[in-house]
Chains A and B, each alone.
Chain A
Amino acid sequence: MDLSNIIWAFVWFTALGVVLGAVLALASKIFAVKVDPRVEAIVDALPAANCGGCGYTGCAALAEAIARGDAAVNACTAGGVETAKAIADIMGLPVVAPNRMRAQVMCSGTHGKAKLKYKYDGPADCNAAMRLAGGDKLCPNGCIGHGTCVAACKFNAIEIKDDIAVVDYNRCTGCGVCVQSCPKKVIKLIPYESDHWVSCNSLDNGKTTRSYCDVGCIACRLCEKACEYDAIHVKDNLAEIDYSKCTSCGKCVLKCPRKIILHSRDPRAKTA
Chain B
Amino acid sequence: MTEILLIMFTAVLVENFVFTRFLGICPFLGVSEKPDTALGMGFAVVFVMTLASAATNLIYNLILVPFELKYLKTIAFILVIASLVQLIEMFLRKYVPALYGALGIYLPLITTNCAVLGAALLSVESDYNFIKSVAFGFSAAVGFTLAIVIFAGVRERVAVANPPRSFEGIPIALVTAGLIAMAFSGFSSINLGI
Q: CA–CA, A21 to B59, complex, Å?
A: 16
Q: CA–CA, A96 to B132, complex, Å?
A: 62
Segment at the interface with A among B35-43, B61-69, B111-119, B172-180? B61-69
Q: Does A49 touch B at the CB level, under 8 Å?
A: no
Residues of A within 8 A of B59 (CB): 16
Contacts A12-B63, A13-B76, A16-B79; A24 near B68 (Cβ below 8 A): no
Do residues A23 and B87 form an inter-chain contact, with CB atoms below 8 A? yes
Do residues A9 and B72 form an inter-chain contact, with CB atoms below 8 A? yes
Do residues A24 and B86 form an inter-chain contact, with CB atoms below 8 A? yes
Do residues B94 and A31 form an inter-chain contact, with CB atoms below 8 A? yes
Select the residue from A17, A24, A28, A30 with max chain B CB neighbours within 10 A.
Answer: A24
Contacting residues of chain B (87-103) with chain A, CB-CB under 8 angstroms: 87, 90-91, 93-95
Segment at the interface with B among A97-105, A121-129, A161-169? A121-129
Q: Does A33 touch B at the CB level, under 8 Å?
A: yes
B70 smallest CB distance to A (angstroms): 11
Contacting residues of chain A (102-124) with chain B, CB-CB under 8 angstroms: 123-124
Q: CA–CA, A124 to B68, complex, Å?
A: 61
Do residues B72 and A31 form an inter-chain contact, with CB atoms below 8 A? no
Residues of A within 8 A of B79 (CB): 13, 16-17, 20
A47 smallest CB distance to B (angstroms): 20
Q: Does A170 touch B at the CB level, under 8 Å?
A: no
Q: Does B75 touch A at the CB level, under 8 Å?
A: yes
Which residues of B come within 8 Å of A, CB atoms? Answer: 59, 63, 67-69, 72, 75-76, 79-80, 83, 86-87, 90-91, 93-95, 160-162
Do residues B69 and A8 form an inter-chain contact, with CB atoms below 8 A? yes
Do residues A27 and B91 form an inter-chain contact, with CB atoms below 8 A? yes
A-B contact pairs, 19 of them (CB 8 A): A8-B69, A9-B67, A9-B69, A12-B69, A13-B76, A16-B59, A16-B63, A16-B79, A16-B80, A20-B79, A21-B83, A23-B83, A24-B86, A27-B86, A30-B94, A31-B94, A32-B94, A33-B93, A123-B162
Residues of A within 8 A of B72 (CB): 9, 13
Q: What are the nearest 4 A-B pairs in CB distance?
A: A123-B160, A31-B94, A31-B90, A20-B83
Do residues B93 and A24 form an inter-chain contact, with CB atoms below 8 A? no
CB-based A-B contact count at 8 angstroms: 50
Q: CA–CA, A8 to B67, complex, Å?
A: 7
Select the residue from B72, B76, B90 with max chain A CB neighbours within 10 A.
Answer: B90
Residues of A within 8 A of B87 (CB): 23-24, 27
Q: CA–CA, A27 to B86, complex, Å?
A: 9
Instruction: Considering the complex, give the chain A residue whose CB is closest to the CB of B84.
Output: A20
Q: CA–CA, A26 to B157, complex, Å?
A: 47
11 additional A-B pairs beyond A12-B69, A21-B83, beta carbons within 8 Å, are A13-B75, A16-B79, A16-B80, A27-B86, A27-B87, A27-B90, A31-B91, A32-B94, A123-B160, A123-B162, A128-B160
Q: Does A244 touch B at the CB level, under 8 Å?
A: no
Do residues B83 and A24 form an inter-chain contact, with CB atoms below 8 A? yes
Q: CA–CA, A20 to B93, complex, Å?
A: 19
Instruction: Considering the complex, give the chain A residue whose CB is closest to the CB of B100.
Output: A33
Residues of B within 8 A of A27 (CB): 86-87, 90-91
Contacts A5-B68, A9-B69, A12-B63; A20 near B161 (Cβ below 8 A): no
Select the residue from A16, A23, A32 with max chain B CB neighbours within 10 A.
Answer: A16
Q: CA–CA, A43 to B94, complex, Å?
A: 21
Do residues A124 and B63 form an inter-chain contact, with CB atoms below 8 A? no
